[in-house]
Structure 1
């Protein structure tokens, strides 16, 4: 079976077009067309439809059903340039914010006298740093690939699974000081369990390419639940805090909501792309 890149090259040459002339009609660079023909990248499905119209060939001639799936799974989840720029800014802000938090914790451990801080507090702070470090690594990985335009579903899934794992570590850390088992259980159900569910769902949906709607529903539910939890826990605290602390809490609130909204957007964008690929291949 002839690959997409070879089919594209043959159709373009049969039409008497150069890579540059095709690129101009598609409003992309000549290098993009070259990468498609070499098999390094695939155009998104909308661009593929435009190519079929310009070269006057059917989609079936350009892409097999298997390659339809490759288009979705190898291309970035977010292909809209404006939205991708928002993703880049959000990821960069998350990395910077968490780095500042880690720096603050480390400086507190260094500057506070030994007799002013007990071992249990140090343990909790170290666990918090571990959770934040995982988040920093995950979002930095996502940031690099978002800038390169290579944040595919599997890479996006890796970012989300690592992020939810970091949330579990952070939330478990907050539960450690609780004495009553009832409080511990309630916190586990309210906070830890949703992140565990979200991590498992993200793994199967983004990485294992399991398109069952149960995973979409679970990711959606846990994201909405995360927004709700952020509002009910941070907003009242923000209202009663001093100006500097209120600013810090408000930024955490906005950041938390933005991440959950982005997860919802990426999940449904990928769902539409996979569904569209199936419809075209049929």
Structure 2
């Protein structure tokens, strides 16, 4: 049975409208309609979610739909993480070498590293599609994420404290100079 028929059959047997299914998948009702009419195919992530939602195996959903199999195989491409890391590591090494050659003080290097870390974290935090992350997190991965962020915060604390102390010292110098 084709995926379009599978989705329609399972949706109706669970007494769900297209809109209700779309809301659970965080997509438009029109997408569900296109899937059920066979004019579009769902992504692998949506197939997995549908499988979990209707308590049906992936094998049962996908088997017999050669178009879907071809579509999923076309979509298989290297992860963005590989591309990002292949640029980030050489760039980080180059920056480290340039800073070492220019005889910049270790305090300045530490401040630059802290700034880059904070800016990149904020960039990721504001551009991440959190609803996908929320679906993907298990309790164990959530605990590891909390541990990671505690470690990150502890690593940044010396730089934050140094900045605060430096600001207070500068303020005190300004008061004494009056």
TM-score (norm 1): 0.27
The structure showing larger relative contact order (alpha-carbon pairs under 8 Å, at least 6 residues apart) is: 1
TM-score (norm 2): 0.39
Q: Max radius of gyration: which structure?
A: 2
